[in-house]
Structures are given as C-alpha cells and as structure tokens.
Amino acid sequence: MARSTLVNPSDDLISDSGSVLWSFVKGEQLEFPITMNFIENATAGYTYEAVVVESLNVAEQTERPTTIRPGGVQTILVVRVPVYRGTWNSSQAYNREEVVFYNGLYYKLLSGIARTNATTPDSDPLWEETTLNKVYLQFPSTLAATWQIQPTVGFASYGFFELRVTEPADAIFRRTWKPVRGMVEVLFSPTDIVPDA
C-alpha cells in the first residue's frame, strides 16, 4: 500500500528514458520506425497524431529555445501504419511493407508489388521479421521551410515534437498516450539554397 507523503513521491509509475532530439538537415525527407511497447497491435484502430510546432528561434542562437513561437508554424506529420494482411497464404499477392502472420511470427515484405511466391516468409529473403506494434513516423522535406528564423551555416533552428496515440472509439475508457516527445533540430543545407537541377 502507498504510504509515502503526497509531496515526496518515491515511485514514478509512468516513466520513460527522457525526451528525444530529432536532427535533420533542411530538406531531408525521412521515415523512422517507432515501436510502442504499451500496445500489441498498432493496426487495431488506434488514432495517431504527430506534430512539430515552431520554437521561438532567434538569429544566431547558441542555446535551444524553451518556448514556442506565438502563431508559429504547426506541422502535422504522417504516421504510417503498416497494412496487416493476416495469415500468410502462398496464393495471395502481397505488396511491399505489408505484414503477415506465419508460424507464430510476423513478417513484412521488403519489396515487390502484387508478389506471389510459394516460398514461406521464414525462408524467403524478401520477408523480414517484424512486430505488430510498430508504426512509421514521416518527416517531410518541407519541414521548417516557412519558419520565421531559418538555420544558417553555424546555427540551427528548432521545433517541438510530440506523438499522441489514442485507443479506438469503442474502448470502455478511451486512453491516450504521448510516448515520444522532444525537439526537432533543423540544420543548414547548401543544397536547399541552390535551385534543383
């Protein structure tokens, strides 16, 4: 039973390893896998929201900002949830990144469009073992393009980041988690200022 005083907690029942810093060169477009240990099946109707909010950057800043820019740019990121196709079937056609269940494990197809093959996923090098509690966070090349203070050769610009996960609408008590949060650092890019070829 909990008997410590309320103003001196001894246990953190909801803990994590801290906030993250995503670092990008301006104009990069990248996707990152996020494994969520608190759910078993990311494809089961959860709602995902990931955002970056512009920080109150100043020219030639030497420290990361600690506040958001009032009226600053708000960017909604795409959270890609893999398509789960159920139990693998040798006569079924599968597309790249689709996930199947075979022999007690989950596999995702690494490449192919409408690929049909009798080789089982555990023996086929085009299938890779995965989990169902993984989603993919997509950062667009346009991130920070319209921020008021742009990165320069010696100074970065920053934004605040958060991912929110909400249970399906039919839950008895619809829980919401915020498993990943932190800052986005955007660095100067020479190719960003030169017109595309």
Do the domain assignments include residue 112?
A: no
How far is Cα of residue 78 from the mean position of the Cα atoms in its chain? 8
Do the domain assignments include residue 32?
A: yes
Do the domain assignments include residue 99?
A: no
Do the domain assignments include residue 111?
A: no
The total number of structural domains that make up the chain: 1
The 10s digit of each residue's pLDDT in 67-102 is 999 999 999 999 999 999 999 999 999 999 999 999
Give the dihedral of Cα atoms 6, 172, 180, 107; nearest 10 deg.
Answer: 140
Do the domain assignments include residue 89?
A: no
pLDDT grade, residue 138 (50/70/90)? very high
Q: What is the CATH number of the domain that holds 152?
A: 2.60.40
SS3 state of residue 141: coil
**Can you give the residue range of the structural domain that contains 65?**
20-81+134-193
pTM, whole model, 2 decimals? Answer: 0.87
The 10s digit of each residue's pLDDT in 172-191 is 999 999 999 999 999 999 99
Do the domain assignments include residue 148?
A: yes
Percent of the chain with pLDDT over 90: 83
**How far is Cα 183 from Cα 144, in angstroms, rounded to an integer?**
13
Do the domain assignments include residue 106?
A: no
In the 8-state DSSP scheme, what is residue 83? P
pLDDT at 197: 73
